Amino acid sequence: MEQLGFDFGIEPRPLIKVTPARLSLYDDCPRRFRLTYLDRPAPPRTGPWAHTTLGAVVHNALRELFTLPVSKRTPERAETLVSRHWRSGGFADAVQVARYAEAARRWVADYVEQHGADVDPVGVERWVSATVGSDPASPSLIVEGRADRIDDRDGELVVVDYKTGRTPPSDTHARRSRALALYAAAAARTLRKPCSRVELHHLPTATVAVAEHTDADLTEHVRRAEETATASHTAADRLGRGDDPDRLFPARPAPRCAWCELRSSCPEGQQAAPAARPWDLLAPTT
Protein backbone atom coordinates (compact mmCIF):
# COMPACT_ATOMS: atom_id res chain seq x y z
CA MET A 1 0.00 0.00 0.00
CA GLU A 2 1.37 3.35 -1.00
CA GLN A 3 2.24 5.62 1.91
CA LEU A 4 0.28 8.83 2.01
CA GLY A 5 1.94 12.13 2.76
CA PHE A 6 1.65 15.82 2.29
CA ASP A 7 3.89 18.06 0.23
CA PHE A 8 2.99 21.72 0.29
CA GLY A 9 6.01 22.70 -1.79
CA ILE A 10 7.51 24.77 1.04
CA GLU A 11 11.01 24.06 2.25
CA PRO A 12 11.81 25.18 5.78
CA ARG A 13 14.21 28.12 5.91
CA PRO A 14 17.58 27.03 7.35
CA LEU A 15 18.57 28.74 10.56
CA ILE A 16 21.73 30.87 10.50
CA LYS A 17 24.01 30.50 13.51
CA VAL A 18 25.43 33.84 14.67
CA THR A 19 27.19 35.50 17.56
CA PRO A 20 26.88 39.20 18.39
CA ALA A 21 30.62 39.61 17.78
CA ARG A 22 30.41 38.23 14.23
CA LEU A 23 27.43 40.42 13.39
CA SER A 24 29.13 43.53 14.74
CA LEU A 25 32.33 42.78 12.86
CA TYR A 26 30.52 42.39 9.54
CA ASP A 27 28.62 45.64 10.05
CA ASP A 28 31.81 47.51 10.91
CA CYS A 29 33.92 46.13 8.07
CA PRO A 30 33.04 43.21 5.79
CA ARG A 31 36.69 42.82 4.79
CA ARG A 32 37.79 42.41 8.40
CA PHE A 33 35.00 39.85 8.81
CA ARG A 34 36.34 37.89 5.83
CA LEU A 35 39.94 38.06 7.00
CA THR A 36 38.92 36.94 10.50
CA TYR A 37 36.47 34.14 9.79
CA LEU A 38 36.78 32.99 6.19
CA ASP A 39 40.28 33.37 4.74
CA ARG A 40 42.56 30.36 5.08
CA PRO A 41 45.36 30.36 5.85
CA ALA A 42 44.57 33.10 8.33
CA PRO A 43 46.40 36.37 7.61
CA PRO A 44 48.99 37.73 10.09
CA ARG A 45 47.80 39.83 13.01
CA THR A 46 49.36 42.56 15.08
CA GLY A 47 50.71 41.81 18.54
CA PRO A 48 48.66 42.15 21.74
CA TRP A 49 46.82 45.35 22.61
CA ALA A 50 47.12 46.66 26.14
CA HIS A 51 43.45 47.63 26.42
CA THR A 52 42.43 44.10 25.39
CA THR A 53 44.81 42.60 27.93
CA LEU A 54 43.45 44.88 30.64
CA GLY A 55 39.86 44.04 29.77
CA ALA A 56 40.57 40.31 29.92
CA VAL A 57 42.24 40.65 33.33
CA VAL A 58 39.30 42.55 34.82
CA HIS A 59 36.76 40.16 33.30
CA ASN A 60 38.62 37.12 34.62
CA ALA A 61 38.93 38.61 38.09
CA LEU A 62 35.21 39.42 38.28
CA ARG A 63 34.25 36.04 36.87
CA GLU A 64 36.15 34.30 39.63
CA LEU A 65 34.89 36.74 42.26
CA PHE A 66 31.24 35.98 41.49
CA THR A 67 31.79 32.24 41.75
CA LEU A 68 32.86 32.66 45.39
CA PRO A 69 30.47 32.62 48.35
CA VAL A 70 29.01 36.07 49.02
CA SER A 71 30.95 36.41 52.29
CA LYS A 72 34.24 36.16 50.39
CA ARG A 73 33.46 38.74 47.72
CA THR A 74 35.34 41.54 49.39
CA PRO A 75 37.25 44.45 47.85
CA GLU A 76 40.46 42.90 49.14
CA ARG A 77 39.71 39.57 47.46
CA ALA A 78 38.86 41.39 44.23
CA GLU A 79 42.28 43.08 44.27
CA THR A 80 43.97 39.74 44.88
CA LEU A 81 42.17 38.22 41.91
CA VAL A 82 43.34 41.01 39.62
CA SER A 83 46.92 40.29 40.68
CA ARG A 84 46.38 36.58 40.08
CA HIS A 85 45.10 37.09 36.55
CA TRP A 86 47.41 39.95 35.61
CA ARG A 87 49.11 39.93 32.19
CA SER A 88 51.27 42.60 30.58
CA GLY A 89 50.85 42.08 26.83
CA GLY A 90 50.78 45.28 24.80
CA PHE A 91 51.89 47.74 27.47
CA ALA A 92 54.64 50.25 26.72
CA ASP A 93 57.03 49.40 29.54
CA ALA A 94 57.33 48.21 33.13
CA VAL A 95 56.29 51.61 34.48
CA GLN A 96 53.03 51.55 32.54
CA VAL A 97 52.43 47.94 33.53
CA ALA A 98 52.78 48.80 37.22
CA ARG A 99 50.51 51.84 36.91
CA TYR A 100 47.71 49.92 35.23
CA ALA A 101 48.02 46.91 37.49
CA GLU A 102 47.46 49.22 40.43
CA ALA A 103 44.62 51.01 38.63
CA ALA A 104 42.88 47.72 37.81
CA ARG A 105 43.07 46.58 41.42
CA ARG A 106 41.59 49.90 42.51
CA TRP A 107 38.81 49.73 39.89
CA VAL A 108 37.56 46.31 40.91
CA ALA A 109 37.85 47.11 44.61
CA ASP A 110 35.85 50.33 44.13
CA TYR A 111 33.33 48.44 42.03
CA VAL A 112 32.72 45.93 44.80
CA GLU A 113 32.62 48.70 47.41
CA GLN A 114 30.17 50.91 45.52
CA HIS A 115 27.95 48.40 43.75
CA GLY A 116 28.25 45.43 46.04
CA ALA A 117 28.90 41.84 45.16
CA ASP A 118 26.07 40.22 47.10
CA VAL A 119 23.94 39.39 44.08
CA ASP A 120 23.41 35.73 43.26
CA PRO A 121 23.97 35.49 39.50
CA VAL A 122 22.21 32.76 37.56
CA GLY A 123 25.07 32.93 35.08
CA VAL A 124 28.72 33.99 35.18
CA GLU A 125 30.34 33.87 31.75
CA ARG A 126 27.13 32.01 30.88
CA TRP A 127 26.83 30.50 27.42
CA VAL A 128 23.40 31.15 25.97
CA SER A 129 21.99 29.72 22.75
CA ALA A 130 18.49 30.18 21.42
CA THR A 131 16.49 30.40 18.22
CA VAL A 132 15.10 33.87 17.60
CA GLY A 133 13.35 35.73 14.81
CA SER A 134 11.59 39.02 14.20
CA ASP A 135 8.57 36.83 13.48
CA PRO A 136 8.20 34.65 16.61
CA ALA A 137 6.36 32.03 14.56
CA SER A 138 9.29 31.69 12.15
CA PRO A 139 12.71 31.77 13.85
CA SER A 140 15.56 32.64 11.51
CA LEU A 141 18.67 32.74 13.72
CA ILE A 142 20.45 30.69 16.31
CA VAL A 143 22.00 33.33 18.56
CA GLU A 144 24.92 32.14 20.66
CA GLY A 145 27.35 33.86 22.95
CA ARG A 146 28.80 34.19 26.41
CA ALA A 147 27.31 36.87 28.67
CA ASP A 148 29.58 38.34 31.35
CA ARG A 149 26.89 38.02 33.99
CA ILE A 150 23.17 37.33 34.19
CA ASP A 151 21.36 38.32 37.38
CA ASP A 152 17.93 37.27 38.59
CA ARG A 153 16.31 40.29 40.22
CA ASP A 154 12.83 39.69 41.55
CA GLY A 155 12.09 37.03 38.99
CA GLU A 156 13.40 38.93 35.95
CA LEU A 157 16.77 38.50 34.30
CA VAL A 158 19.28 41.32 33.85
CA VAL A 159 22.20 41.05 31.43
CA VAL A 160 25.39 42.68 32.75
CA ASP A 161 28.38 43.51 30.56
CA TYR A 162 31.69 44.81 31.97
CA LYS A 163 33.54 47.61 30.19
CA THR A 164 37.05 48.99 30.69
CA GLY A 165 37.38 51.35 27.71
CA ARG A 166 38.44 54.98 27.55
CA THR A 167 34.91 56.43 27.45
CA PRO A 168 32.15 55.62 29.95
CA PRO A 169 29.12 54.24 28.07
CA SER A 170 25.81 56.07 28.31
CA ASP A 171 22.26 54.76 28.59
CA THR A 172 22.02 55.36 24.84
CA HIS A 173 24.96 53.00 24.28
CA ALA A 174 23.20 50.36 26.36
CA ARG A 175 19.95 50.80 24.44
CA ARG A 176 21.69 50.66 21.04
CA SER A 177 23.87 47.66 21.86
CA ARG A 178 22.77 44.84 19.61
CA ALA A 179 24.93 42.39 21.57
CA LEU A 180 23.13 43.14 24.83
CA ALA A 181 19.72 42.99 23.16
CA LEU A 182 20.47 39.63 21.57
CA TYR A 183 21.85 38.29 24.85
CA ALA A 184 18.62 39.42 26.54
CA ALA A 185 16.50 37.63 23.95
CA ALA A 186 18.64 34.49 24.13
CA ALA A 187 18.80 34.51 27.94
CA ALA A 188 15.03 34.75 28.20
CA ARG A 189 14.60 31.69 26.02
CA THR A 190 17.49 29.73 27.53
CA LEU A 191 16.56 30.36 31.17
CA ARG A 192 12.80 30.71 30.60
CA LYS A 193 12.37 33.99 32.44
CA PRO A 194 11.60 37.49 31.17
CA CYS A 195 14.61 39.67 30.37
CA SER A 196 14.27 43.30 29.35
CA ARG A 197 16.97 45.12 31.34
CA VAL A 198 20.58 45.34 30.17
CA GLU A 199 23.46 47.11 31.89
CA LEU A 200 26.97 48.27 30.98
CA HIS A 201 29.22 48.42 34.06
CA HIS A 202 32.21 50.68 33.40
CA LEU A 203 34.96 49.72 35.85
CA PRO A 204 37.30 52.74 35.48
CA THR A 205 34.50 55.11 36.57
CA ALA A 206 32.32 52.68 38.55
CA THR A 207 29.32 53.87 36.54
CA VAL A 208 26.39 51.87 35.17
CA ALA A 209 24.53 52.54 31.91
CA VAL A 210 21.04 51.03 31.75
CA ALA A 211 18.43 50.24 29.12
CA GLU A 212 14.97 48.81 29.68
CA HIS A 213 13.94 47.18 26.42
CA THR A 214 10.38 46.80 25.23
CA ASP A 215 9.32 43.82 23.14
CA ALA A 216 9.35 46.16 20.13
CA ASP A 217 12.96 47.17 20.88
CA LEU A 218 14.13 43.58 21.01
CA THR A 219 12.22 42.67 17.87
CA GLU A 220 13.88 45.53 15.99
CA HIS A 221 17.35 44.44 17.16
CA VAL A 222 16.58 40.91 16.00
CA ARG A 223 15.31 42.19 12.64
CA ARG A 224 18.54 44.08 12.04
CA ALA A 225 20.53 41.04 13.10
CA GLU A 226 18.62 39.01 10.51
CA GLU A 227 19.58 41.49 7.80
CA THR A 228 23.26 41.36 8.73
CA ALA A 229 23.29 37.58 9.11
CA THR A 230 21.61 37.08 5.73
CA ALA A 231 24.01 39.47 4.00
CA SER A 232 27.13 37.88 5.49
CA HIS A 233 25.84 34.36 4.86
CA THR A 234 25.01 35.13 1.23
CA ALA A 235 28.41 36.76 0.67
CA ALA A 236 30.19 33.75 2.19
CA ASP A 237 28.28 31.38 -0.09
CA ARG A 238 29.23 33.42 -3.16
CA LEU A 239 32.84 33.53 -1.99
CA GLY A 240 32.81 29.76 -1.84
CA ARG A 241 31.64 29.69 -5.46
CA GLY A 242 34.64 31.77 -6.51
CA ASP A 243 33.25 35.31 -6.67
CA ASP A 244 35.55 38.30 -6.16
CA PRO A 245 36.38 38.55 -2.42
CA ASP A 246 37.06 42.29 -2.48
CA ARG A 247 33.71 43.01 -4.10
CA LEU A 248 31.80 40.70 -1.77
CA PHE A 249 33.59 41.91 1.36
CA PRO A 250 34.62 45.54 0.79
CA ALA A 251 36.73 47.50 3.24
CA ARG A 252 35.04 50.28 5.20
CA PRO A 253 37.89 52.65 6.04
CA ALA A 254 37.40 54.56 9.28
CA PRO A 255 39.45 55.88 12.23
CA ARG A 256 39.17 52.43 13.82
CA CYS A 257 41.53 51.15 11.12
CA ALA A 258 44.31 52.60 13.30
CA TRP A 259 43.97 49.71 15.75
CA CYS A 260 42.74 46.93 13.47
CA GLU A 261 44.77 43.80 14.12
CA LEU A 262 44.57 42.93 10.40
CA ARG A 263 45.64 46.27 8.91
CA SER A 264 48.78 44.74 7.37
CA SER A 265 46.46 42.87 4.97
CA CYS A 266 44.36 45.91 4.06
CA PRO A 267 45.86 48.78 2.00
CA GLU A 268 42.68 50.88 2.40
CA GLY A 269 42.90 50.57 6.16
CA GLN A 270 46.54 51.61 6.18
CA GLN A 271 45.64 54.72 4.19
CA ALA A 272 42.65 55.57 6.38
CA ALA A 273 44.62 56.17 9.58
CA PRO A 274 48.17 55.83 10.93
CA ALA A 275 48.79 52.79 13.07
CA ALA A 276 47.95 53.23 16.72
CA ARG A 277 50.38 52.22 19.43
CA PRO A 278 49.32 49.10 21.36
CA TRP A 279 48.57 51.16 24.49
CA ASP A 280 46.74 54.11 22.90
CA LEU A 281 43.23 52.87 23.79
CA LEU A 282 43.84 52.43 27.50
CA ALA A 283 41.45 54.22 29.82
CA PRO A 284 42.97 57.00 31.97
CA THR A 285 44.19 55.85 35.36
CA THR A 286 43.03 59.02 37.16
Query: Exposed, middle or buried: residue 195 (CB in 10 Å: 0-12, 13-18, 19+)?
Result: buried
Same structural domain, 133 and 217: yes
**What is the span of the domain harbouring residue 136?**
123-226
Mean pLDDT split into 10-residue runs, the chain, 286 residues: 49 82 96 96 94 97 95 96 97 98 97 87 91 88 94 95 96 96 93 96 96 95 96 97 96 96 96 96 92
* Residue 171 located in a structural domain: yes
CA distance readout (Å), 99 to 26, 77, 93, 95: 35, 19, 10, 6
Where does a domain end: 66, 97, 115? 115
Q: Do residue 86 and residue 51 come from a single domain?
A: yes
Instruction: Report which of 165, 78, 156 is spatially closest to residue 117, judged by C-alpha positions.
Output: 78
**Confidence (pLDDT) at 11:** 53
Nearest CA-CA partner of 140 in 182, 195, 175: 182
What was the pLDDT predicted at 12?
Answer: 58
What's the pLDDT at 2? 47
Q: Based on the fold, state whether residues 130 and 214 are members of the same structural domain.
A: yes
The number of distinct structural domains making up the chain is 2
CATH of the domain at 140: 3.90.320.10
At residue 117, the pLDDT reads 82
Q: Is residue 276 part of a domain?
A: no
Same domain, 60 and 133: no
- What pLDDT score does 6 carry? 47
Whether the link from the prior residue into 41 is cis, omega within 30° of 0, is: yes
Same domain, yes or no: 85 and 155:
no
